[in-house]
A and B are shown apart, each in its own frame.
Chain A
Amino acid sequence: MTYSHIAGGETHRFDTLAHVLAAASPLRSGDELAGLAAPSEANRVAARYVLADLPLTTFLEDLVVPHEHDEITRLIIDSHDAVAFAAFRSMTVGDLRDWLLADTTDGPALERASRALTAEMVAAVSKLMRNQDLIAVAARIEVVTKFRNTIGRKGHLSTRLQPNHPSDDPRGIAATILDGLLQGTGDAVIGINPASDSVKNCTDLLKALDTFRQEFDIPTQSCVLTHVTNSIQIIEAGGPVDLVFQSIAGTEAANNGFGVNLAVLKEAHEAALSLNRGTLGNNVMYFETGQGAPLSAGAHHGVDQQTLEVRAYAVAKAFDPLLLNTVVGFIGPEYLFNGKQVIRAGLEDHFCAKLMGLPMGCDICYTNHVDADQDDMDTLMCLLGAAGVNFVICVPGSDDVMLSYQSLAFEDARWMHGNFNTRPAPEFDAWLTRMGLGRDADRRALPDLGDFAKRAGLVA
């Protein structure tokens, strides 16, 4: 089936639905690299006209990644909720955009939409939305998840404390955790990207994190972000795994590149549930995604990177995660070239995941070869704060000394709480107050760093 639009006497023809979706995407280097970007600005807008008039049912019939070749397509199509979709069945993509932006479309209505819409429908509508639209709709969606605390309530913003160290030195990591806690971060998770992926090293780090958490009785969860098969081994050996982490992408072939599939994710999910370590809830998975991952694995099936990104959220949704975040500026400039592209992608990723009912956070970040700087990150931080992001990632002074890239700083979390009038997860917020670290703490009566360091095993 071909699609076309006539504008200014010129006919813009698109051979496939994937071409319409790709051409309609705001410009980004990854789609240019894949040869999928609109050849002109006029063509890009023509594709949006085509998209606006497409019935949503098109996406159930014309599958951008073939059903027989891809288990994620099968997951999306075979588990589609036709009953929930009935209310949307007669809409075009343009109608859906208008419905999302209507004043009468409230939280419960958006929750029903999350069960009705497929990843491709959500990606399609996002391409017709301006940045302010992506913010306005996301801000009306509340996705709450629980393990040892409650994440995602309106009026709350959580943080991942990321205490990475270039050689996984446990004392260096502990000092960094201390720094993050002093500044009120760590309620989404205290999560380490290990420098060495060996099972023994990851187990040692998990044990150290668990001891630290118990010493201070912190109502939060810990994670060592190693491969899902490592986490399964660690669980089988009795290691203290709170959350199982995995990077995921939107095609079966790209996930093969990560060494995972739906079956192994299911196995890991069940293993983590069997430990029953959550005290308030049983959301035990933590996923990361990022536009461009399938293309970098040569597994994009001629589909644009933003559409494939949303398909990764369909994978996440099948496992009821506590946390999901895009690593938006980390994948590299060949996918998102500059601050403008990173900011747009961050807002798309957040909106699309929220509309699919997921607890979306963001690693607001950039590498040094992306044309971006701290001002761009401040901008994205403000926009995602306004959009009600569930959590952000924080490192000391914005500088991740293991992965060599820049994320938010601990201070930025305080800034967001102050400017968006948010609090950390309620249980963690109460803990901060008990420790004398709350937002309203008397600055003259702050806790003794020496005592903290002693209990963290950092001084004799």
Chain B
Amino acid sequence: MTEMKSSLTSNLRHLTPARLRLEAGGGAAKLSSVLDFQACHANARDAIRTPVDWRGVTEALGDAAAIQVHSRAETRDIYIRRPDLGRRLRDEDAALLPEGPFDIAIVVADGLSAHAINDTGGALVASLLQAFADLSVAPVVLAEQGRVGLGDEIGAHLGAALVLILVGERPGLSVTNSIGAYLTRNPRVGTPDSARNCVSNIHGKGGLSIADATHKINWLVRHARKLGVTGVGLKDLSDTVPLLGD
């Protein structure tokens, strides 16, 4: 009977990642659940507070050129309190960026998860560079204390027709190392979010794999180039419509 009940409980648990208890009149949470929760929260907090290992990311890029820049948010505390500063490039860093034109620029920003960039950032960029082999691609820009909007200013300075920014997403309790990718055509300071396409949930814990993410992003890049638009005007049909050969 107990065995039957525990197999039922385990079957129900498999239906959702939620922390089901499935006990009537449960009382205080079990210590093992409390500690597991604390471990997950600590991991999420660390993902937000730890700096990215930029040297590791650069090494993963191999021969590709990389330029390191910083947003106007000097510290993590300022970054969290001032979203506006995380979207702007530190004045002196604009001079580090070559003038294009380029078909596309790739920016990697810490966002809210160093774990995401450390775990997947370098390998994802390397995979994208292969997919973009026929395009003129700007040197990869590595941005500290950066939000999604920072890609606009960087892309504008580089003279890039498209900017793709890979950002560490806000960590949850179960996944702390997820990357979100945002593609914006004709990037300019103040571009609204409705003018971007987003591919989110890129991570190795049941999320989008590097290969699948590369396929989706490459599909969006090719169709954005053909249609001359990103955002609400470009629907992600990468699962059904074939990649354009351009």
Contacts and interface: CB of A to CB of B under 8 A. Distances in A.
Interface of A: 29, 32-33, 163-166, 169, 171-176, 178-179, 182-183, 333-334, 337, 367-369, 373-374, 395-399, 401, 404-406, 409-411, 414-415, 436-437, 441, 443, 446-447, 449-450, 453, 458-459
Given A163-B18, A182-B26, 12 more contacts: A166-B17, A179-B20, A368-B41, A369-B48, A369-B112, A397-B37, A399-B174, A401-B172, A410-B26, A415-B28, A446-B24, A453-B12
16 contacts: A29-B81, A166-B17, A334-B80, A334-B82, A337-B81, A367-B170, A396-B18, A396-B19, A401-B18, A404-B171, A405-B172, A406-B173, A411-B26, A437-B25, A449-B22, A450-B8
Nearest to B44: A368
Contacts of A450: 4-5, 8
A165 B44 CA distance: 20
Interface string B8-45: 11011101111111111111110001000110110011
B92 to A, nearest CB: 25
Given A32-B81, A333-B80, A449-B5, A401 B17 contact: yes
A458 B173 contact: no
B21 A179 contact: yes
A459 B18 CA distance: 19
B83 interface: yes
A29 B82 CA distance: 9
* Most A CB within 10 A of own CB, among B5, B16, B40: B16
A326 B182 CA distance: 30
Nearest 10 Cβ contacts at the A-B interface = A397-B19, A404-B172, A172-B16, A368-B44, A172-B15, A396-B18, A182-B24, A446-B24, A175-B12, A175-B15
Nearest to B19: A397
B81 A178 contact: no
Given A411-B27, A411-B28, A397 B81 contact: no
A46 B172 CA distance: 41
Contacts of B37: 374, 397-399
B194 to A, nearest CB: 12
Contacts of B83: 33, 334
A182 B22 contact: yes
Contact of A459 (B8, B33, B82, B174): B8
Contact of A183 (B9, B21, B81): B21
B133 to A, nearest CB: 34
A353 B32 CA distance: 38
B155 to A, nearest CB: 23
A182 B23 contact: yes
Interface residues of B, number: 42
Contact of A397 (B11, B25, B33, B172): B33
B205 to A, nearest CB: 12
Contacts of A406: 41, 173
A178 B173 CA distance: 22
Nearest to B48: A369
Contacts of A443: 25
Contacts of A175: 12-13, 15-16, 18, 20, 22
A178 B16 CA distance: 12
A458 B24 contact: no
Contacts of A411: 21, 26-29
Contacts of B11: 458-459
Given A32-B81, A374-B37, A450-B8, A172 B18 contact: yes
Contacts of A182: 21-24, 26
Given A453-B8, A458-B12, A410 B21 contact: yes
A364 to B, nearest CB: 15
A441 B25 contact: yes
A441 B26 CA distance: 12
Given A374-B37, A414-B26, A441-B24, A395 B18 contact: yes
A169 B16 CA distance: 8
Given A368-B48, A449-B5, A171 B15 contact: yes
Contacts of B19: 396-399
B146 to A, nearest CB: 15
A176 B173 contact: no
A375 B106 CA distance: 41
Contacts of A401: 16-18, 172, 174
B10 to A, nearest CB: 11
A332 to B, nearest CB: 9
B83 to A, nearest CB: 5
Contacts of A414: 26-27
Contacts of A333: 80-81
A399 B26 CA distance: 17
B201 to A, nearest CB: 9
Nearest to A395: B18
B44 A33 contact: no
Given A399-B18, A449-B8, A458-B12, A369 B23 contact: no
Interface in B152-197: 170-175
A283 B140 CA distance: 56
B32 to A, nearest CB: 11
A399 B173 contact: yes
Contacts of A179: 18, 20-22
A176 B22 CA distance: 9
Contacts of B84: 33
B81 A33 contact: yes
Given A397-B29, A443-B25, A450-B5, A165 B18 contact: yes
B162 to A, nearest CB: 26
A172 B19 CA distance: 11
